[in-house]
Amino acid sequence: MKKHVLIATTLALSSTMSFGAGYQLNLQGLRQMAMGGSGTAVPWDMSTIFYNPGGMTAMDHWQIYGGAAFVMPRSKYVESPTGTYEAETQSQTFVPFSIYAGGPTSWRSPVSIGVGIYTPFGNGVKWDDNWRGRYVSQESYLRTIFIQPTVSYKFNEIVSAGIGLIYATGRVEFRRALPITDENGVDGSAELAGNGHGFGLNAGVHINASEKVQIGFNFRSKVKMDVDRGYASFTVPSSLQTAFPYTAFSTSLPMPMVTSLGIGYAVNECLTLQGDINITGWSAFNSLNIAYENNTPQLQDQNSERNYRNTIALRAGGHYTVSDRIAVMAGAAFDPSPVRDGYVSPELPDANRGILSAGLTYKAFERWTVMGALEFVSSIQRESSFDEGGFKGRYQTKAFAPGIGISYDF
């Protein structure tokens, strides 16, 4: 019955986690990660292909850039209002990554081109198989990889703009127990997994407002990740096997629009401060609909309300150049949850998050720069329920993420 292994190989360059609020990640650049995830205004390096394609022309040479974060999230559930029951998600390490290459088409050309490959959305939560919420979720994963060829044009010394087309590919996996017990008292189970893809765009404008002030505007469109043909397999008692056939399913999951406005201010030669406002169009995640190819009276299509709301996240950080070779960074962010009360499921136990981060870059050689960053995320304790499944409790998520990266300047 099991035609695919659900628990995909660990590590590798997967992009899974529950880190940013909702299933958004903000780890596409090491310097930006170290500055609370801000980065729309100041084009520090080629990761601006993600943060603001308009900033690409600010770099007068080609750069290849690669980075990865090692994210270790833990969520805890306790029963409420009182009780003794508690459960924690299993410890996992996820590795979102980003690779960028870009630069001007020729010496002093106003046109820059480049490509970015990065992982802007993801989620991964694994509870014990026998835990109290097993009929809601045992394990869920979302992995995405975005590939973005980009072009940027410098109109004058002040304004430049860029646009990239996004091809997105991803995978969703979901596993839960079914409250259908066999003669030995063993629960049934449902496992769904499928690959999806979608398209979108990433556009931005970069403005050198003055000697000291830079302004960035970035629009990353919604990407509708369509899973046209996933597979669902059910483990049920033998008398119900025809009622729960091995079947294909289709679904779609929105990767929401993100609109950002950023400002950067050079306090002096060494210190630059920057801040971002991100508006994320989470209201696009209205419901999760799963349509099975083979319906039976027992196996009907599922429509599950999500009803997410748009969020506004605030991010700020500072960059201090210590020497020709060394710079240090620090930052903080507040990332509110798009999930409303009544919709907080253990599949994604989301809550408002506070983020603290720091980082360091070291120019090891003439052309090589090594970057390191650390990020701490803590959600505010949240007491809420998943009304559809009648599941409630208090949750908290904390995560720790070291990141490393390297860039090469031509």
Partner 1 sequence: MKKLYIFCLAASGLTACKPNLEPEKPEAGQLSLERYLAVGDAFTAGFSDGALTKTGQNFSYPNMLAEQFGLVGGGEFKQPLLPGDNGYPVPKKVLAVRQGPCDTNASLRIVDYPGALDSINSSNSIAINGPFNNTAIPGIRAVDYIKAGYGENNRFSRRFFATFSGRPIDEVVRINPSFFSVWIGNNDVLDYAVNGGKESPKPFSSVTEFAAAYDSVLSMLIKKGAKGVAMNIPDVTTMPFFTALPAQVVNLTRRQADELNATNTMTFVRFNEGPNYPVILDGTDLRLLVKGEMVLLSLPIDSVKCAGWGTKKPIPGQYILTLEEIAAVNATLTEYNNIIRAASKAKNIAMVDMFTYFRSVSIPGTPYNGINYTANLVNGSFYSLDGIHPSARGYALVANRIIQEINLFYGSKISSVDANKYPGVEYP
For partner 1, how many residues bind (rule: CB under 8 A)? 54
Residues from 268 through 327 that contact partner 1 (CB under 8 A): 298
Structure tokens at 372: 């390191």
d(CA 182, CA 237): 5
Q: Considering beta carbons, is residue 295 or 381 the nearer one to partner 1? A: 381
* Beta pairing partners, 373: 359, 403
CB of 401 to partner 1, least distance (A): 9
**Contact range with partner 1 by CB under 8 A, out of 77-85, 110-118, 195-203, 301-309:** 77-85
For 65, other C-beta atoms within 10 Å of its C-beta total: 25
CB of 122 to partner 1, least distance (A): 18
Q: List, as one string, the DSSP characters of 80-113.
A: SSS-S-EEEPPP--B--EEEEEEEESSTT-SEEE
Residue 157-196 contact track with partner 1, rule CB under 8 A, x = bound? -------------------x--xxxxx-x-----------
Structure tokens at 74: 């833990």
Q: Considering beta carbons, is residue 8 or 78 the nearer one to partner 1? A: 78
Residues from 117 through 146 that contact partner 1 (CB under 8 A): 132-136
d(CA 393, CA 77): 7
Question: According to the binding rule CB under 8 A, does residue 82 interact with partner 1?
Answer: yes
Cis peptide before 81 (omega within 30 of 0): yes
What is the maximal distance between C-alpha atoms in the chain?
A: 76
Q: Considering beta carbons, is residue 276 or 375 the nearer one to partner 1? A: 375
Q: Considering beta carbons, is residue 139 or 276 the nearer one to partner 1? A: 139
Structure tokens at 71: 């994210």
Rounded alpha-carbon distances, angstroms, from residue 330 to 124, 262, 359, 373, 374: 27, 17, 6, 9, 9
CB of 374 to partner 1, least distance (A): 6
* Beta pairing partners, 233: 191
**Contact range with partner 1 by CB under 8 A, out of 148-156, 159-167, 253-261, 381-389:** 381-389
In contact, 153 and 174? CB cutoff 8 Å: no
Helix (H) or strand (E) run with residue 36 in it: none
Q: Considering beta carbons, is residue 60 or 305 the nearer one to partner 1? A: 305
* Beta pairing partners, 77: 87, 395
Question: According to the binding rule CB under 8 A, does residue 79 interact with partner 1?
Answer: yes
d(CA 398, CA 394): 14
Question: Binding residue for partner 1 (CB under 8 A) from 110, 149, 237, 354?
Answer: 237
Q: Considering beta carbons, is residue 250 or 378 the nearer one to partner 1? A: 378
Residue 49's SS3 state is helix
CB of 404 to partner 1, least distance (A): 10
In contact, 132 and 85? CB cutoff 8 Å: yes
**Contact range with partner 1 by CB under 8 A, out of 25-33, 38-46, 67-75, 309-317:** 67-75
Residue type, 9: T
CB of 169 to partner 1, least distance (A): 30
Q: Considering beta carbons, is residue 182 or 409 the nearer one to partner 1? A: 182
Residues from 339 through 368 that contact partner 1 (CB under 8 A): 358, 360, 362
Binding site for partner 1 (CB under 8 A): 72-76, 78-86, 88, 132-136, 176, 179-183, 185, 236-240, 298, 358, 360, 362, 372, 374, 376, 378, 381, 387-391, 394-400, 402
